[in-house]
Structure 1
Amino acid sequence: MRVSIPTISLDPLVTKAFPQVSKTEAVSRLVSFIEPGNVAVLTGAGISVDSGIRAYRGQNGRYLNPNYHPIFFHELADPTPKGHRFRQRYWARSYLGWPAIKEAKPSTSHYAIGALQYSNLVHKLITQNVDGLHGKAIPITWGAYEKQRRILELHGRLRTVSCTRGHSQSRAVFQERISSLNPSWRKYVDELARTGSEPRTNPDGDVELRGRYFTDFVVPNCELCLLEGVNADEASIIKPDVIFFGESISSAVKDRSFRDLECCDKLLVIGTTLATYSAFRIVKHALEVGKPVMMLNIGPTRADKFERIEKIEMKSGAVLTDVCSLVLGPKAHHDPELRRLMMSGVVQPPIDDTADNDTGG
């Protein structure tokens, strides 16, 4: 069966035009939506564009990079020599792309949501993003438990890796292991950093190799698997803890996403086309259980056909900080932690994708 990358139909019967509004009106509508509190927020790749991470799709719902051919889960998990070549390709590209993801800083939108979380206006946050930026923009008073309770990473995280037998390690440790086994590639990464010529990085950390071949790339084995007697080919089946194309989120994650939604009064969707069904069904479920839904996104989305959704076609970075200031009022200036969150964040969109900023994940 041919498996395609999810995208957004441009059929006029499926999508519809939403009226353009001024920034003032957009801020006012968002304030009215958020101010009562107990809001669930669902975010996509668009919210990380101001952090320098490209979105998957542009304003027409299509992939921004027409040459992007992601590896599917069944290819990565194939224990045969063919699967090993897929893993060489994936980890060579991901090895080059990880530094940009690791060094990315939260945008003003990430911190604005952090301020709303700190004030308990946003009770639950569900993100499709695997970059970990929401976790970097949380209140300093939150420990690991509160962070895990309040933020659900729907599609996983790039910062940890696991083998198929469940042995896990941090991405930083795995990256160092790759470096030690591939000195020529490490030299190449150092050269890219020195010249500032970073390769184009996709939201999942994958990059284009620009003519560099990966046949010499050594993929680390899982050392614990080897100690348990697993053969080397199977021990090399290691993946980041993210959901690949062709892979489904677990029932536990799906169930939690529904619970997180159901304990809130409404849903605010930011920076996503909802092309992946795992995110789309959260919006569907919100409508089914009678929750108001508002979307902040530029371009068509999978949910545009629903009449009960209120949509604002605008970049999150253009409005969320102002929304926070109005919703939080004087305490945004008097509370030191709120002041820190409100004054933090970068606005550094990728230079070559500025026309498509804040489109969907």
Structure 2
Amino acid sequence: MSAGPVPLEHTMPPRSDVDEQGYAVLRRLVGDGGVVALTGAGMSTASGIPDYRGPDGRRRVQPMQHGEFVGSAEARQRYWARAFAGWTGFSAARPNAAHVAVARLQEAGLLEGIVTQNVDGLHQRAGAEEVLELHGSLDRVTCLDCGEPVSRAHVQEWLDVANPGFLARTATSGEVRPDGDVVIDPGAVRLFRAPRCLVCGGDRLKPDVVFFGGSVPRAVVEQAFAMVEDASTLVVLGSSLRVMSGYRFVRRAARLGIPVAVVTRGETRGEGEPLVHLDSLLGDVLPRLVEDLLGP
């Protein structure tokens, strides 16, 4: 991945229409400090990594399913062929204004912690620390048979050697999907050599992420719950909350009387939990929030 965050002053978007009453509530809550942020795919769309759902809440792409990946060598071959073709674009993504703003709020002491559903590592590259990756990271790969960990960069090197000329002769959709892969011709997939573990020789190498239908490790869930329970405010950024994996933390906060604020485009799941919901782009709200609370 390319190095270094984008300075906030170089990413400030033009002011746009924002619900000013809702924004005032958000500014007060964040200004009081003790905030925990729960971030979703909407954080990274401005970096060129699309989300699973559009503003209407409907799923736009079919993600890899955990059971299919674990149980089918053909599914693993398809995933790794697509991921190999998409890695250059995915790894080139840079933090956007929203990532930088979140890091600034954390550095200033207003934001206590970050729980992210994203697997792209862009929070850390923007300067954020102690980020809890709820769904893991595409930077890491694990053998499901022997547990051997390996970096995604090394797997990319192996695949390049095992599939010479594959990228040059394979047509892709061009758009990187949320799992870090791209759509490619099925005929090319059938010729692709998927990675094998260098320790046990098994073919069940899996990116260290929670695919749809998989389970977040219990220890990670408990850590996230503890962060939320200690928060003065839970701010949800860029998530429709359609998946219980993230929504459960909103429910816990609401049950404990912790204010919940949501900033995301389109509808969001909730049964009255959010105190305020800003239907706005994060790039329009978060840099402005930093400027108002911390100065330029």
TM-score when scaled to structure 2?
Answer: 0.89
Aligned to 1:113: 102
Distance, in Å, in 2 between the alignment partners of 1:70 and 1:316 is 24
Distance, in Å, in 1 between the alignment partners of 2:143 and 2:247 is 29
Distance, in Å, in 1 between the alignment partners of 2:274 and 2:54 is 24
Distance, in Å, in 1 between the alignment partners of 2:84 and 2:115 is 27
Per chain length, whose mean CA-contact separation is higher, i.e. which structure has more relative contact order (CA < 8 Å, sep 6+)? 1
Aligned to 1:219: 194
1:26 offset after TM fit, Å? 4.8
Aligned to 2:113: 124
Bigger radius of gyration among the two: 1
1:25 offset after TM fit, Å? 4.2
1:213 offset after TM fit, Å? 2.6
Q: 1:149-179: per-residue Cα shift (whole Å, max 9, x none)?
A: x211111100010011210111001000000
SS at match of 2:189: coil
What residue identity is the alignment partner of 2:156? Q
Selected match of 2:184 from 206, 209, 219: 209
Selected match of 1:287 from 254, 273, 293: 254
How many percent of aligned residue pairs carry the same amino acid?
36
Aligned to 1:244: 211
Does structure 2 conserve the Cα–Cα contact (< 8 Å) formed by 1:275 and 1:302? yes
Unmatched runs of 5 consecutive residues or more in structure 1: 1-20, 140-146, 227-234, 333-361
Does structure 1 conserve the Cα–Cα contact (< 8 Å) formed by 2:261 and 2:274? no
Distance, in Å, in 2 between the alignment partners of 1:266 and 1:322 is 19
1:206 offset after TM fit, Å? 2.2
Alpha-carbon spacing, 1:104–1:308, altered in 2? closer, same or farther (3 Å): closer
Unmatched runs of 5 consecutive residues or more in structure 2: 1-16
1:11-22 equivalent positions in 2, closer than 5 A:
22=18
Aligned to 1:71: 64
Selected match of 2:280 from 308, 311, 314: 314
SS at match of 2:235: strand
1:74 offset after TM fit, Å? 1.8
1:186 offset after TM fit, Å? 3.7
Does structure 1 conserve the Cα–Cα contact (< 8 Å) formed by 2:251 and 2:273? no
CA RMSD of aligned residues (A): 1.9
Aligned to 2:35: 39
Selected match of 2:166 from 178, 185, 191: 185
Does structure 2 conserve the Cα–Cα contact (< 8 Å) formed by 1:41 and 1:270? yes
TM-score when scaled to structure 1?
Answer: 0.74
1:230-269 equivalent positions in 2, closer than 5 A:
235-269=202-236
Aligned to 2:152: 171
